[in-house]
Structure 1
Amino acid sequence: MDATALVTPPYVAGPLRLEPFPALMLTPARVGNPSTGRAFARPYKDVSARLLRWQARGLVRADTEPALYLHEYSANGMTVRGLVGALDVSRRAAGPEERAVLPHEGIHPAQADELADRMEEMQLNPAPILLVHQGTPRLRALLGEVTSREPDHAFADRGGQEHRIWAERSPDTLAAIAGELASSRALIADGHHRYAAYLRLQRRGIGHPAGPRPTDLGLAMLVDQQDTPLFLGPIHRTLSGTSLADLRDAADTLGLEYAEQAQADAVHALSAARLAATDGERWAVIGLGIGADEAAVEVLHRRIVPALPHGPAAIAYHHTVDDALGGARADAIAVLMPAPSVDLVLRVAEADRLLPEKATSFQPKPSLGVLIRSLRDAASDPT
């Protein structure tokens, strides 16, 4: 298999289950600290021991009882709230109707294998993958009751995020939450490769050949997109080895609208059905002629790029317009992309299609180190 090829990760079967677990939490001074990432770096087999040393120094708090955690964080004027628990990945969907978790991007198998190896060596899920869904009114009411009490933890981290965390352990509340989640279907917002790594670890069944296994679960945060939505932003492209003339020829070949315009007009024309492109001097607008269930990024990568007479020799990805424009020149064009809507991404995933790589940017993501899950103790997961 081509090491650069993208493949679809397996689908987890419903019911959607988030199980309680006993969290590890870094001290606020360590959360959002740029140096914290080094604590999870090579040698990975030493990470657990490193965290134990930190715990002895009061830099890590370890819960002794499992809980579902309601984590609320605020950054750049946005507040996101989600349930953090151990996602059950032990069952595979036999058909589309059984799917509980929907990926929308493909994964590189080698990268997923490497992440699984890291987690196996660390014996940790160091950060939750981000899932979004549409919660039921009853679930929102249940979580509203949780947030009506004082949080168990409240702090601002070194990166500027503000956090509030509630640990929910009431059997009645946990059962009610489980009932509301059972029929949900969640879209992966961030963490496709970590999700695939969870599935690899589950198949390996490390350390526990029989019975409930820590690797049957993987750390996840489930956000109600109707309640405290994540922002879905665009990811722009720079196509090296390609010119605006190449882009015009591709548009002509495909019967797409191509028109050179002033910069202000081209940027203003950017929409779900139009791209804007520049070589740093001239600007063009490409009309995509797409339907309601097709994303602009699909047209670019699956129709326009294959039709280019030259290049691209490489594609670079940028989260800001300024970064994209910084790479524009005569032989490298910047392509400004619209952000797809969450509803469109969900329709694509439900139709069993994958968007091209780097198609979505869900923001803001929580800082590293707020909630960590250990794989060392099988008793940390429900029996």
Structure 2
Amino acid sequence: MAEVVPFKGLYYNLDRVGEIGKVATPPYDVITPEMRQGFLQRHPYNIVRLILPASPEEAGETFGRWLDEGIFLQDELPSLYPYEQIFHHPGDGRRLERWGFVALVRLEDGAVIGHERTSEKVVEERLKLLEATGAQMGQVLGLFSDPEGEAGALLREATQKSPRFEFTDDEGVVHRLWQVSEPRLVEALTLRLRGQRLLIADGHHRYATAWRFRQLQRRRHPDAPEDAPFEFVAMYLTPLEAEGLVILPAHRLFKLPSDEVASEIWGRIEEYCRIRTVSDPADLLQALSRGQGIGLASKRGFFLLLPRDGGPLRGPLQEIDAALVDEVLVGGLGLEPVFTRDPEEALKGVEEAKFDMAFLLRPPRMQDVKRAVETGLLMPKKSTYFYPKVATGLVIYPVSRL
């Protein structure tokens, strides 16, 4: 089961960079090329230069130079990092808070379980970057059980002082991070999670990369101690019962290579779904907000797809829209979707003829994700979009530097 420990994190030196909001970003996998360009222009020490560099070698050289220049400092004592996010629900506008903390979790079989498939290509790319920089720049978002709110009470106690960092991001989300090294609180929080199995909510590729890195380092350093830095992965841990744990859908946009492929997809849609024609995008979005079915925008118009009973999916995957789209409706056709959590952006992509089809999905329910995990099933990648994203650049875990 999970072993959670503190660590001596690296963090931005505000005397050198000024505002933390100028150098922190969302995780690499939600940064578009346009966003990346904006972050590059925002600040010369923006973390995007390390997580989305021109090459791994460039990132390694940049990170080494920044360390030499004092751009980052390191905590003297092993610490945990309580982290609060305050935001409004993108759907209904409710004001919500999400509490958790950043810590290390030992990489071992069965201690942490995921729910989504990963791409070998992405893992290889991130592994090269991790080897070049020797640091985990971001964290895996993990869930633990805290039905009585015991961890939440400890976090509130640990955050009576002012936060180390506080900023509001481009989406209006407030981020606050504290550093806690007081032995009693550190021990109480880590013991609270001992014996639990953690669930990966977001960051499956980051976790797979850390696991692969550990395998490489074990071969290179067979005599390394069992608490060597590469034996751990940095995670942001939050209770799965928390109201602020919001799951949004990742809508799928497709550019189709031929009319034959389009006809094949329509044939599958007719076989596995009942089709209801919708008059316009507004009506489609309204039906989607009520959870009535899967939305489809295409050259043929707007439709609501109602999955038929008795399809090829089994168990919890029957309740996951991404599984129906990725594995049944477009499975085996060699198509790579573009993802967005914004349904209006998806509709605009079809309207402007940048894409031929947009599938607008319903958000997965947490209980369905848990059921899939418990039964050993893996969902398609980007089946879930946990909101808000954990900021990158607030604390860094050095695994083979310093």
Task: Name the TM-score, length of structure 1 as normaliser.
Answer: 0.81
Aligned to 1:224: 239
For the Cα contact (< 8 Å) 1:248–1:258, is it kept in 2? no
Matching of residues 319-330 of structure 1 within 5 Å = 319-328=341-350
Aligned residue type for 2:389: K
For the Cα contact (< 8 Å) 2:141–2:390, is it kept in 1? no
Inter-CA distance 113–334: structure 2 relative to 1 (3 Å threshold): closer
Aligned to 1:24: 10
Q: Give 1:136 shift.
A: 4.3
Matching of residues 363-382 of structure 1 within 5 Å = 363-376=387-400
Aligned residue type for 1:115: R
1:267-322 alpha-carbon deviations (Å, 9 max, x no partner): 33336562121225622221113588321221222222249xxx675532222122
- Structure 1 Cα separation of the partners of residues 210 and 331 of structure 2: 34
Aligned residue type for 2:24: G
- Structure 2 Cα separation of the partners of residues 39 and 315 of structure 1: 26
User: Which of 69, 81, 85 lines up with 2:103 in the alignment?
Assistant: 85
* Larger relative helix fraction: 2
Inter-CA distance 165–228: structure 2 relative to 1 (3 Å threshold): farther
Aligned to 2:66: 51
For the Cα contact (< 8 Å) 1:133–1:222, is it kept in 2? yes
For the Cα contact (< 8 Å) 2:50–2:62, is it kept in 1? yes
User: Which of 314, 317, 321 lines up with 1:296 in the alignment?
Assistant: 321
For the Cα contact (< 8 Å) 2:250–2:339, is it kept in 1? yes
Inter-CA distance 158–356: structure 2 relative to 1 (3 Å threshold): closer
1:12-37 alpha-carbon deviations (Å, 9 max, x no partner): xx1x1221111111133443362311
Deviates more, 1:64-73 or 1:283-292: 283-292
Aligned to 2:277: 260
Q: Give 1:245 shift.
A: 6.4
Aligned to 2:380: 356
- Structure 2 Cα separation of the partners of residues 350 and 272 of structure 1: 25
- Structure 2 Cα separation of the partners of residues 286 and 176 of structure 1: 49
- Structure 1 Cα separation of the partners of residues 263 and 63 of structure 2: 55
For the Cα contact (< 8 Å) 1:39–1:50, is it kept in 2? no
For the Cα contact (< 8 Å) 1:239–1:312, is it kept in 2? no
Inter-CA distance 315–227: structure 2 relative to 1 (3 Å threshold): closer
For the Cα contact (< 8 Å) 1:81–1:228, is it kept in 2? no
Matching of residues 83-122 of structure 1 within 5 Å = 83-89=101-107, 91-92=108-109, 99-122=110-133
Structure 1: 5+ residue runs without aligned partners?
Answer: 1-13, 93-98, 379-383
Aligned to 2:358: 334
Aligned to 1:184: 196
Aligned to 2:28: none
Local SS of the residue matching 1:112: helix
- Structure 2 Cα separation of the partners of residues 39 and 120 of structure 1: 12
Matching of residues 239-278 of structure 1 within 5 Å = 239-241=254-256, 247-254=265-272, 256-263=273-280, 264-270=282-288, 274-278=293-297
Inter-CA distance 292–39: structure 2 relative to 1 (3 Å threshold): closer
Aligned residue type for 2:308: G
Local SS of the residue matching 1:82: strand
Q: Give 1:188 shift.
A: 1.5
Task: Name the TM-score, length of structure 2 as normaliser.
Answer: 0.77
Query: Across the two proteins, how many residue pairs are aligned to each other?
Result: 349
Local SS of the residue matching 1:327: helix
What percentage of residue pairs aligned between the two structures are identical? 22
Aligned residue type for 1:287: L
Matching of residues 154-233 of structure 1 within 5 Å = 154-156=165-167, 159=170, 161-205=173-217, 208=221, 209-211=223-225, 212-227=227-242, 229-233=244-248
The answer to whether the aligner puts 1:279 opposite 2:304 as a matched pair is no
RMSD: 2.9
Aligned residue type for 1:153: R
The answer to whether the aligner puts 1:143 opposite 2:155 as a matched pair is yes
- Structure 1 Cα separation of the partners of residues 283 and 173 of structure 2: 37
Structure 2: 5+ residue runs without aligned partners?
Answer: 26-38, 41-45, 89-94
For the Cα contact (< 8 Å) 1:277–1:284, is it kept in 2? yes
For the Cα contact (< 8 Å) 2:139–2:390, is it kept in 1? no
Deviates more, 1:243-252 or 1:219-228: 243-252
Local SS of the residue matching 2:179: strand
Inter-CA distance 260–50: structure 2 relative to 1 (3 Å threshold): same
Aligned residue type for 1:166: W
- Structure 1 Cα separation of the partners of residues 117 and 371 of structure 2: 16
For the Cα contact (< 8 Å) 2:277–2:302, is it kept in 1? yes
- Structure 2 Cα separation of the partners of residues 193 and 277 of structure 1: 29
Aligned residue type for 1:81: W
